[in-house]
Amino acid sequence: MARPPAKPPARPTRRPARPAPRKAALPQPAAPSGPPREGDRIAKLLARAGIASRREVERMIEARRIKLDGEVLTTPATVLTSLKGVTVDDKPVAKPERTRLFVFHKPAGLITAERDPTGRPTIYTALRNALPEGTPRVMPVGRLDFNTEGLLLLTNDGGLKRALELPSSGIERTYRARTFGEISQAQLEELIHGIEIEGVRYGKIDANMERRTGRNQWIELTLTEGKNREVRRVLEHFGLEVSRLLRTAYGPYQLGDLPRGQAYELKKHEIEPFLSQLKKQGLL
């Protein structure tokens, strides 16, 4: 007797799919209530004009030293399209000059600041004789320690100063250090991976032994961060004693054979490509 055809296996009962949870609506940015803002914050404008760095301008506003049309400004958030009517210490602010950049060979024994509370000499003591008469007020790009010498860039443009100092710019700084102690090239090469010292992380450093005489050696180091006393701390971490530290380059600019305490202005064609590069990076 023929068997009846087998029934196909029953399909498993499918549970109704749960509705996907509704995502909370993201808050939408409020539509601007008016036309886009024109102008820049006063700190930025005054920095560009070479009055002071942005941070210093903010301190000047706190000290009630800056006025607009005779009224004391109380906030650095003030937005202006020009510096017309702005005074600092009751003196009108002149129109910004073109961007200027100087190379200065800072001697050891000078503070990289405008004044020192303890009365130690500053770079401006040397700059009185190093810069030509009529040079506008200039600001140092970064700092060199009291006992560190070498290339120090100076500019009248606060915006350029800030861009050159930012670690995100990736601008290389090169130093030569005379040290005493034991270290190998292999140890120096490990610095290319960066190093952590007492909880502080330092980025990559390209370090090379230049020459050695006994336990004395000259070491060249190139880095891009420039943290406070970075070179000295890294070398001292290896047990080396740093007897002399000299910065020889900052970005494309070299110290060369410029005598200590002397300065010169870079030509327009020497700075324009560099400025263009910073603008492409969105730093200017």
Residues acting as catalytic residues: 145
CA–CA separation, 149 vs 105, rounded Å?
A: 7
Sign of the four-CA dihedral 271, 272, 277, 281: positive
CA–CA separation, 111 vs 120, rounded Å?
A: 7
Does residue 259 sit in helix, strand or coil? coil
CA–CA separation, 223 vs 203, rounded Å?
A: 8
Identify whether the C-beta of residue 131 lies closer than 8 Å to the C-beta of residue 263: yes
The CA dihedral of 96, 98, 101, 107, to the nearest 10 degrees, is: -40
Helices (H) and strands (E) in the chain, counts: 7, 17
Instruction: Classify residue 219 by burial, with Cβ atoms within 10 Å: 0-12, 13-18, 19+.
Output: buried
DSSP single-letter state for residue 168: G
